[in-house]
Each structure stands twice: as C-alpha cells, then as structure tokens.
Amino acid sequence: MGMISEFKEFAMRGNVVDLAVGVVIGAAFGKIVTALVDKIVMPPIGLLVGGVDFSKWVWTLKQASVDAAGEAVPAVAIGIGEFVNTLIQFVIVAFAIFLVVKAMNRVARKEPPPPAAPSEDIVLLREIRDSLKNQGTSSVG
C-alpha cells in the first residue's frame, strides 16, 4: 500500500497536474496550428508559386516498381513539402510561445506597490525611541 499512496501523493502535486494540463492544451494547440498551416497558410503560398501543393511535394529517389514476384515495391521519396509545412508550424508555435513568455515577463516585472505608511502606534513608538536616545546623549558630559 505504501507505493500506491506514494504514487497518489506524487500524481496529485500541483506541478504534475499543471504539466498534464499543459501537455493536453499543447496537443490541442498543435492540432490547431497544423490545420492552420495545411488548410489556410500553404494553399495561397502554393498558388503564388504556380499551384504547387506543398504537402505532395517530394523528391523521388527511386520510382515505385513491381518486383519479379509481382509484388508492388513502393517509391522511395523524401517529403520536402511535409518538411516545409512542419517548419512553418514550428515557427508559428515558437512565435506564439514567445508572445506568451513576453506577456508573462511583462506582468512579472511590475514594481510592487510602495509600502503602506506606518500605523500611529509605530510612529509614536519611534518618537519615544528617538526622544530617549536624545535624552541619553545630552545628559552625558
């Protein structure tokens, strides 16, 4: 039972729960960015460069073929377009994170409010202290 209760204590810590929430939100944000790049950003860019669909842009190293047994051998290709889409997604995600961190830093840099004025009791005690100090130095001599 000790290991189960220890695991429960670990899993219910605030940091672990915050991390789990961050991962779930990050995954959802990643899907949004993927849809944004694939369906909104890349089609106009492809249209501007002559109607190229970047998601299908590949560099074929070896064409698909059929072997001696009649089995289809798939082509060997490098997915350049998928890579370009992923780079654009990375830039969008990195920029969004940059904006969030910048906003958090701006909030964290705010100066704390000035300290409140001391209460009347504190002011009175300070006056008594100063008066006693002055009496002690003037009677010596």
Bridge-based pairing state of the strands 72-73 and 65-66 = antiparallel
Only one residue has tokens 């249209």, namely: 47
pTM above 0.75, yes or no: no
Q: What is the pLDDT of residue 129?
A: 92
Q: What is the pLDDT of residue 138?
A: 62
Q: What is the pLDDT of residue 1?
A: 66
Q: What is the pLDDT of residue 127?
A: 92
Running DSSP on this structure, what letter comes out for residue 47? H
**Residue-wise pLDDT tens for the chain (141 aa)?**
688 888 888 777 777 778 888 888 888 888 888 888 888 887 888 788 787 777 788 888 988 888 888 889 888 999 888 888 888 888 888 888 888 888 888 887 777 778 888 899 999 999 999 999 988 766 554
Count CB atoms within 10 A of the CB of residue 37: 23
